Amino acid sequence: MANVELRGLEKNFGANTVLKGVDLAIRDGEFVVIVGPSGCGKSTLLRLIAGLEPPTQGDILIEGKSALEDAPAQRGVAMVFQSYALYPHLNVFDNMAFGLRMAKMAERDIKAAVEKAAQMLGIEDLLDRRPRELSGGQRQRVAIGRAIVRQPRLFLLDEPLSNLDAGLRVHMRHEFARLHRELATTMIYVTHDQVEAMTLADRIVVLNAGGVEQIGTPQEIYDSPRNLFVAGFLGSPR
Ligand code: ADP
Ligand code: MG
């Protein structure tokens, strides 16, 4: 697990200011949910933490040390994308093994790690299949498995359930709560689903137009939304 600190994080794409000075301190093992409307900068924020994009300004500290100079693979961070981003030509085993092979782990250890993660996710019977032979829910599990095998100290999840039907979303929501307990890892989870945020989060970060509107426990935000935007998004009507 890792603590993460964002200091004055800014991101511009040309003239478009997408993140305008985000400050956030996330504790070891915390489950933080980031909510906000489409286009407010949620995915960009995760991509900066993962090292897939450089910030325009500001710093990202992981375990107290600036991560800006570290390549994505050195950050100890794993990201699960909304689109799953599986390799279509590789079977499930090879999809999950991909990052470990890149890191030159011994094949015997890779096998053990993949089988353990597959068991944890209930996909141990699917290891020979290609992504196109899987349901949406199964693909989602493979994408999560591919992240778990790397034993990340920090887990980033970008709307991981948005492509699943309602019943499966409820089931996977419980799975994420279980995984968070079992893996004992820090999680930053992006969603625009109010129920996911309220049930999963230790703390919720409400993002709007690239700025933080409010940070608090689900109870705090529900009971005392700071403004109408937060109230409309998550809080009780008043
Ligand atoms: P969210 O995930 O909250 O829906 P994003 O972080 O994906 O929002 O996008 C925030 C804004 O940044 C949008 O206006 C989007 O068009 C812009 N944006 C994101 N990525 C890029 C990029 N690579 N190049 C240019 N603009 C981008
Ligand atoms: Mg997004």
Task: Spell out the alpha helix ranges (H) of the chain.
Answer: 42-50, 92-102, 107-121, 136-148, 166-183, 194-200, 218-223, 228-233
Residue 131 CA to ligand 2 center (angstroms) comes to 22
Q: What end-to-end distance do the CA atoms of the chain give, in Å?
A: 38
- CA-to-CA dists, residue 175 to 4, 43, 80, 116, 180, angstroms: 24, 22, 15, 16, 9
Is the beta carbon of 186 within 6 A of some atom in ligand 1? no
Closest-lying ligand 1 atom to the alpha carbon of residue 207: 3
Closest Cα to atom 20, ligand 1: which residue?
44
Q: What is the mean pLDDT of residues 86-113?
A: 96
> Which ligand lies nearest the alpha carbon of 38?
1
With a 6 Å cutoff on the Cβ, whether 40 touches ligand 1 is yes
Q: Is pLDDT at 237 greater than 80 in this prediction?
A: no
Give the chain's radius of gyration (CA, Å).
18
**DSSP per residue, 7-36:** EEEEEEETTEEEEEEEEEEE-TT-EEEEE-
How many C-beta neighbours within 10 Å does residue 4 have?
24
- State the pLDDT at residue 238: 45
Q: Mean of the per-residue pLDDT values for the chain?
A: 93
Instruction: Please give the model's pTM, rounded to 2 decimal places.
Output: 0.93
Residue minimizing CA distance to atom 13 of ligand 1: 39
Tell me which residue has its CA closest to atom 1 in ligand 1.
Answer: 39
Residue of 18, 20, 191, 213 to mutate, ligand 1, most atoms within 8 A of C-beta: 18
Q: How confident is the model at residue 36 (pLDDT cuts 50, 70, 90)?
A: very high
Contact 143, 80 (CB under 8 A): yes
Ligand nearest to the CA of 82: 2
In three-state secondary structure terms, 77 is strand
Is the interface score ipTM higher than 0.85? yes
State the distance from the centre of ligand 1 to the C-alpha of 141, rounded, in angstroms. 26
Is the shortest distance between the CB of 38 and ligand 1 below 6 Å?
Answer: yes
How far is ligand 2, taken at its centre, from the CA of residue 80, in Å? 12
Best probe residue, ligand 1, of 13, 35, 45 (max atoms within 8 Å of C-beta) = 13
Assess whether pLDDT exceeds 90 at residue 203: yes
pLDDT digits (tens, 9 = 90+) for 65-90: 999 999 988 899 999 988 888 999 99
